Amino acid sequence: MPEDRTIQELGLDEYKFGFHDPEEYFFKTPRKGIDPEIVAMISKHKNEPEWMLEFRLKALESFFEKPTPQWGGDLSEMNFDEIYYYIRPMENQGRTWNDVPEDIKNTFEKLGIPQAERESLAGVGAQYESEVVYHSLKEEWEKSGVIFMDMDGGLREHEDIVKEYFGTIIPPDDNKFAALNSAVWSGGSFVYVPPGVHIDIPLQAYFRINAENMGQFERTLIIADEGSYVHYIEGCTAPTYTSNSLHSAVVELIAKPGARIRYSTIQNWSHNTYNLVTKRGAAYKNATIEWVDGNLGSKLTMKYPAVYLLGEGARGEILSVAYAGDGQHQDAGGKVVHAAPNTSSLITSKSISRGTGRSTYRGLLKVHEGAVNSKSRVECDALLLDENARTDTYPYIEIEEKKVNTEHEATVSKVGEDQLFYLMSRGLSEEEAMAMVVNGFIEPIAKELPLEYAIELNRLIQLEMEGSVG
């Protein structure tokens, strides 16, 4: 394939990133489904310490014990026995771009990632199947003691730190999908930022599922030590297959006193993926945790990034945007728990629904007794692109403390005939007019992203909307 071909030229209508490489795997579990033997095989293959194997097996028990959630989205078609739980694509993790195999490079080329990233961005971790294949880190970060590697490498090289924090923010028995991830996790990122170190350029990882019927269970742990700052960016796009894929990640953030972590995600799963993710951060005294979360694609997404404000003066912010097209259900939102005085939080959720798409805002705001002078604001805005689209709001609020200030605001708007007419009268086609309204709607989120990701978010939404009008 000539190098200068673009995604548009590939002529893929339904799901624009639906190409896939021939499957060549170094290691794949011998059968679909999950049991203690498969879990032990994964752990052994990774040469893990005994405690991790025990962690996994205990988590597997929780997974079997816990019922499938009956709230949220429809999981009745989810068949856990039809999934390969571990695939490893190549022998060793690539350290430089030259080490990355050609077909994997091609995939990145089609996504338009490497050219831009290689030049302007210093650290790139990209997860291909279950292993990180490409990882580089700017020298000065290494000098200042920053650790940024895949989770498996983190466990091998920094076992003491991993053992101290792994599974402490999201215990394996937290929910059925966190339990599943804990049992079979592979890949993801491990980040440690030493006290006082500010990383100015975002750390980035690009995830991608390639094998049919393969679950992706990455596990990310980020620890920002006292007074440090890090912005981590994760992006995901999966190719299209006819049977259902499962993505179930766990992300744990720890912001120690005075630290700040920003975690940005743009996820664009193929339309048959179940995207069931548990994300949670703990913010200690005067620390800040921010989730910026963009959800596109997938068949069903259930994701509610959470911040636990555990120390006085801690702050949490969740910005979430979801696009639900035909046949998709985006069940997203955020959770904030105020457990200390003078803490503050802001949840901003924006959803777009089109055709038979459905978007749900599901949020929890909890203020514990003693969290005096806490402030919280929840704002959810839904945009409906046509008559059939649907949106629901479930804002759960539990307040045990009297001296608090909480606000909640919800709006639903439709792209109006007059609005489209106005834009079209200036020469924009109906499709362009619709895209402009949608891009404007998500602008408050897009402007929080680095420029190239904001552009990608707009472009992805445009791709999703193409051919949807008229």
Partner 1 sequence: MLKIENLQVEIDGQEIVKGLNLEIGEGEIHAIMGPNGSGKSTLANVLMGHPRYEVTDGAITFRGEDVFELEPDQRAKLGMFLAFQYPSEVPGVSVANFLRTAVNSVREEELSPMDMYRLIQEKMKIMQMDPKFAERYLNEGFSGGEKKRNEILQMLMLEPKLAIMDETDSGLDIDALQVVSKGVNELRGPEFSAVIITHYQRILRYIEPDHVHVMLDGRLVTSGGKDLALELEDKGYEWVRQEFGASAQS
Question: What's the farthest any 2 CA atoms get from each other in the chain?
Answer: 68
Q: Which residue in 251, 302, 442, 463 binds partner 1 (CB under 8 A)?
A: 442
Q: Which residue in 441, 456, 461, 465 binds partner 1 (CB under 8 A)?
A: 441
DSSP classification of residue 371 = -
Q: Which residue in 136, 356, 439, 468 binds partner 1 (CB under 8 A)?
A: 439
Q: Does 65 bind partner 1 (CB under 8 A)?
A: no
Do residues 386 and 356 touch, judged by C-beta distance below 8 A? no
Q: Does 409 bind partner 1 (CB under 8 A)?
A: no
Distance (Å, whole) CA 277 – CA 380:
20
Q: Which residue in 373, 419, 462, 468 binds partner 1 (CB under 8 A)?
A: 419
Distance (Å, whole) CA 304 – CA 218:
17
- Number of Cβ atoms within 10 Å of the Cβ of 50: 8
Q: Which residue in this structure is represented by tokens 């766990």?
A: 250
Q: Does 410 bind partner 1 (CB under 8 A)?
A: no
Cross-strand bridge partners of residue 235: 206, 266
Q: Which residue in 41, 137, 428, 469 binds partner 1 (CB under 8 A)?
A: 428
Q: Which residue in 250, 382, 389, 423 binds partner 1 (CB under 8 A)?
A: 423
- Pick between residue 372 and residue 436 the one whose CB is nearest to partner 1: 436
Q: Does 356 bind partner 1 (CB under 8 A)?
A: no
Residue 257, judged by CB atoms within 10 A of its CB (0-12, 13-18, 19+), counts as: middle
Stretch that binds partner 1, among 176-184, 244-252, 340-348, 431-439 (CB under 8 A): 431-439
Q: Which residue in 69, 171, 440, 467 binds partner 1 (CB under 8 A)?
A: 440
- Pick between residue 367 and residue 383 the one whose CB is nearest to partner 1: 383
Stretch that binds partner 1, among 50-58, 96-104, 136-144, 435-443 (CB under 8 A): 435-443
The beta-strand segments (E) located in 327-389 are 329-338, 344-353, 358-367, 374-384
- CA-CA distances (angstroms) from residue 426 to 94, 224, 298, 440, 456? 50, 49, 35, 17, 26
Q: Does 200 bind partner 1 (CB under 8 A)?
A: no
Shortest approach of partner 1 to residue 446 CB, angstroms? 8
Give the binding site for partner 1 (CB under 8 A).
Answer: 416-419, 421-430, 432-433, 436-437, 439-444
